[in-house]
A and B are shown apart, each in its own frame.
Chain A
Amino acid sequence: MTANYNYAFIDESTKKEIRRKILKAIAIPGYQVPFGSRELPIARGWGTGGLQITLSIIGEQDTFKVIDQGSDDSVNAVNIRKFIAQTTSVRFTTDTAQATLIQTRHRIPEEKLNEGQVLILQVPIPEPLRLIEHSETGTRRMHAEADYSGMWLYLYENIIRYGETTIGAGYPVMVNGRHMMSPSPIPRWDVPKLNMAEALFLFGAGREKRIYAIPPHTRVVPIEFEDFPFRAEDFRGHECASCKSTDTFLNEIVDSGSGMKKWFCSDSSFCEKRQMQKRQDV
């Protein structure tokens, strides 16, 4: 830890503001709370929203994990981990079950999160209605009046034209029956994990200056029609080339040497855990 900086880099009064905004976000599940997004040594749009939440609530007792698209070792995750290491003295882990605080970009870990764990998601575009309404005044009015017919119409037109929704990542959900919310660009695969979860989900958008939350045991329902239910990605017929899992979110990788397509778990630490287990069983 470098002594020149405050613990966890940002100053205490900023932390206080962000914590207050987090509390408000928890009190109104799915509602986007504006906050004064600060400058960080990372450019906006690279996870500064999530990072500010992390820095505001991290403490000595925490065990921290950071992932980027499910991986502990990709650039965004490594940089954020280094930064946290320089400005705090928390313990780090790659094991989801061990972590108290997990910052993530675009994935929710495969392992079920438990009570007491906090998942912090980085959000590029917090507004689910931006797709259909460009003006911020417009979308705020729509949220205030719970006027979500435009989004239903979007989904209807998708189904009529393409027989399927075109929304891949960041599928809009209704939180607690009141607010429509973007779950950040997580795959549809991860969306059901938000419903009635035991962990706390915090969402931070640094560039857009918004914080929102899903408290534990909150109803989170993806928008769907009665006769056209929500579907997650389909990986039937594929398994992870490393751990042989068939029940995880898989990434398609083309082997540059042979040109063959292979499938691997997106959640790298979970994949390693499974491989370890396999070896022990043998």
Chain B
Amino acid sequence: MTPVLSVRNLFRIFGTACSRCFDGNDEICGNKCPWCGAIVACKNISFDLYPEEVLGIVGESGSGKSTLLKILYFEEEPTSGEMFIHLTKRNACFPGEAFMGSVDAANVLSLNSYQKRLFRNHYMGMVYQNPFLGLRMHISAGGNIAEKLFMAGFRNIAKIRERAIYLLEKTEVPGNRLDESPASFSGGMQQRVQIAKALSNVPMLLFLDEPTTGLDLSVQARVLDLIKSLQKEMRLATIVVSHDLGIIRHLTTRTMVMKDGEIVEAGLTDQVLEDPQHPFTQLLVCSTL
């Protein structure tokens, strides 16, 4: 099977990097390069994401998992590395189709910012841990969803509202709260509006950055079930970043474990969690409450 997303040799180094930062030298302990003092947040990351698959990324805080997700969503520039996307569906209203024709072969990280924006608007969705990052709190819930649709070229208010109501009800937010601002919603509702927004353009790739951290347990379970059912229904290739092994176990089929910017272990989720090989993964698994 062809992967939807392939990442090769991705580095993200904060500070002025020296040549030794790239070596992957074992002498480096932690993610700070002992020679130049730069922080290596992502160190030689390579992986594939297959169609309709849910891939989990676990790791303690500071392990570079959120930075990795930001790079994939074009929010952060990598220091070096490549990323290839194989379009499994063509988006009918995608205006950049003409010059993006050869995108299958191109390293999308080398596109210019305008092309990246087009690409992101048409093929990607993101749910942040904090709804304040993904939503404009003082604009109506409908407006928040509409924003993504404006980006994708929708220009008809009636159609946009129809779609926004459909998405809100899909994510269990009452459609009649369309014109209220998320600032007046509960945390769980805000998170569901964020999911509705991420799904509004029917993305090919969905990125979830700690989607349920900060929600109470019962709400957490409902949001997780929602994500799972929508992912199945819309057949989204999804990446979930979390430090919560319960969420990883519940949602994902395959998991990568990150430590100090490196992938230390990867495999089927069950396998990684039941029979961890790397000492860090073992520590992680046995630290579960």
A residues with a Cβ closer than 8 A to B are 141, 144-150, 152-153, 156-157, 159-161, 225-228
Does A153 contact B114, Cβ atoms closer than 8 Å? no
What secondary structure prevails in chain A residues at the interface with B?
A: helix
A interface footprint on B129-167 (CB within 8 Å = 1, 0 otherwise) = 000000010011011001110110001111010000000
Does A152 contact B150, Cβ atoms closer than 8 Å? yes
CA distance A153 to B117 in the complex (A): 17
Does A227 contact B156, Cβ atoms closer than 8 Å? yes
Does A145 contact B113, Cβ atoms closer than 8 Å? yes
A228 and B157 contact, Cβ closer than 8 Å, known pairs A145-B114, A146-B114 = yes
Report A-chain residues with C-beta under 8 Å of the C-beta of B136: 153
Report B-chain residues with C-beta under 8 Å of the C-beta of A145: 113-114, 117
Kindly state whether residue B179 has any CB partner on chain A within 8 Å.
yes
Report B-chain residues with C-beta under 8 Å of the C-beta of A147: 117, 151
- Shortest CB distance A148–B (Å): 8
CA distance A144 to B158 in the complex (A): 30
Does B140 contact A225, Cβ atoms closer than 8 Å? no
Report A-chain residues with C-beta under 8 Å of the C-beta of B158: 227
Does A157 contact B140, Cβ atoms closer than 8 Å? yes
A156 and B143 contact, Cβ closer than 8 Å, known pairs A149-B150, A228-B157 = yes
A interface footprint on B158-191 (CB within 8 Å = 1, 0 otherwise) = 1010000000000000000001000000000000
Report B-chain residues with C-beta under 8 Å of the C-beta of A152: 146-147, 150, 155
Q: Which of B72-116 contact A (CB under 8 A)?
A: 113-114
Q: How many residue pairs, one in A and one in B, have C-beta atoms under 8 Å apart?
A: 49
Report B-chain residues with C-beta under 8 Å of the C-beta of A159: 157
A153 and B157 contact, Cβ closer than 8 Å, known pairs A144-B113, A144-B114 = no
Report A-chain residues with C-beta under 8 Å of the C-beta of B156: 225-227
What secondary structure prevails in chain B residues at the interface with A?
A: helix
- Shortest CB distance B189–A (Å): 19
A226 and B142 contact, Cβ closer than 8 Å, known pairs A149-B147, A149-B150 = no
Report A-chain residues with C-beta under 8 Å of the C-beta of B146: 152-153, 156
A/B interface sample: 20 pairs, CB < 8 A: A145-B117, A147-B151, A148-B150, A149-B147, A150-B147, A152-B155, A153-B139, A153-B147, A153-B150, A156-B146, A156-B157, A157-B139, A157-B143, A160-B140, A225-B156, A225-B157, A227-B156, A227-B157, A227-B158, A228-B157
Q: 17 new A-B pairs (CB below 8 Å) besides A147-B117, A160-B179?
A: A144-B113, A145-B114, A146-B114, A147-B151, A149-B147, A149-B150, A149-B151, A152-B147, A153-B146, A153-B147, A156-B143, A156-B146, A157-B139, A157-B140, A157-B143, A160-B143, A226-B155
- Shortest CB distance B177–A (Å): 13
CA distance A152 to B150 in the complex (A): 7
CA distance A165 to B143 in the complex (A): 15
Residue of A nearest to B158 (CB): A227
- Shortest CB distance A221–B (Å): 11
Residue of B nearest to A147 (CB): B117
Report B-chain residues with C-beta under 8 Å of the C-beta of A146: 114
Report A-chain residues with C-beta under 8 Å of the C-beta of B113: 141, 144-145
- Shortest CB distance A153–B (Å): 5
Does B147 contact A225, Cβ atoms closer than 8 Å? no
Report A-chain residues with C-beta under 8 Å of the C-beta of B148: 149
Report A-chain residues with C-beta under 8 Å of the C-beta of B139: 153, 157
Report A-chain residues with C-beta under 8 Å of the C-beta of B114: 144-146
Residue of B nearest to A153 (CB): B147
CA distance A161 to B155 in the complex (A): 18
CA distance A153 to B148 in the complex (A): 9
